[in-house]
């Protein structure tokens, strides 16, 4: 299993993040978990998804 991913709380402010929009289908249970993380860290769901994906991309190993 992957190492723990730590996310710090931040103050509430929003703005243009300069990213492209991507549409992804997710199960309701996963969205609920993301929303819980969002509420606990005062970050948007989008920020949480980006933080988690950035971390995951660095630890993924391709197997053949």
Q: Report pLDDT digits (tens) over 9-63.
A: 776 566 666 777 889 999 999 999 999 999 999 999 999 999 999 999 999 888 8
- 9 belongs to a structural domain: no
- Token code pair at residue 41: 């860290």
pLDDT for the residue numbered 24: 95
- 18 belongs to a structural domain: no
Expressed as residue numbers, the domain containing 32 is 28-59
Alpha helices, H only, the chain? 28-41, 45-59
- For residues 45 and 32, the answer to whether their CB atoms sit within 8 Å is no
pLDDT for the residue numbered 5: 82
Place of tokens 């391709």: 62
More confident residue, 47 or 8: 47
- 14 belongs to a structural domain: no
Return left, alpha or beta for 3; rule: phi > 0 is left, psi -120 to 50 is alpha, else beta. Answer: beta
pLDDT for the residue numbered 9: 78
pLDDT for the residue numbered 16: 64
Cβ burial, residue 48 (10 Å; 0-12/13-18/19+): buried
- 42 belongs to a structural domain: yes
């Amino acid at each position: 299993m992957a190492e723990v991913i730590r996310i710090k709380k931040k103050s509430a402010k929003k703005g243009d993040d300069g990213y492209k929009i991507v549409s992804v289908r997710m199960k309701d249970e996963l969205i609920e978990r993301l929303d819980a993380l969002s509420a606990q860290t005062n970050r948007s769901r989008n920020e949480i998804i980006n933080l988690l994906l950035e971390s995951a991309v660095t630890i993924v190993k391709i197997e053949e």
